[in-house]
Copies of this chain bind each other. A is one copy, B any other.
């Protein structure tokens, strides 16, 4: 869940989250440190750990993501590598079709109008989700970029058409039908042959 481990002082929490958004958006997930965020918020790094836990948990809270990748990724990654695409889409639909879908939609909408949140969301999707799925099946790092951004195109478009614009009949199509239709696309982007230019 996208809340810290303890309620804590509300003003301090908000100051930390605001600083985290700036630093994550500026430096990316990997480049951001709890120490830098603490400095930007004017608090002790230990306080951030105390309120939010790990760097990833802080990131998830700052993004207002209803889901922590650490909670859902094992279910995507574990299993037949030839069905990774299916499992990715199935997990995506489980989150978005659940009550958490409303919060996920709010997260995406805030990224449309706010550049800091847009950069956070891009880091989240590419670095925290897709890169970790790719690591399971792509051995050549030179291929990871194209494969990862192709996966991102299909996921972003599916979320837009099914959940944000809600275009029928896809918006009401049963999840397993969508998994069967879109899963193979993801699989091909993950493990299919890459044509050269």
Q: How many copies does the complex hold?
A: 2
Q: Is the CB of A153 within 8 A of B168?
A: no
> Across the interface, which residues of B come within 8 angstroms of A195, CB to CB?
177, 180-181
Which residues of chain A from 124 to 182 have any CB-CB distance to chain B below 8 Å in the complex? 126, 145-146, 149-150, 152-158, 160-162, 165, 167-170, 173-174, 176-177, 180-182
Q: How many interface residues does A have (CB within 8 Å)?
A: 39
Q: A154-B154, A154-B185, A184-B188 are in contact. Are A149 and B176 (CB under 8 A)?
A: no
Which of B112, B145, B153, B184 contacts A154 (CB under 8 A)?
Answer: B153
A residues in contact (CB < 8 Å) with B: 112-113, 118, 122, 126, 145-146, 149-150, 152-158, 160-162, 165, 167-170, 173-174, 176-177, 180-182, 184-185, 188-189, 194-197
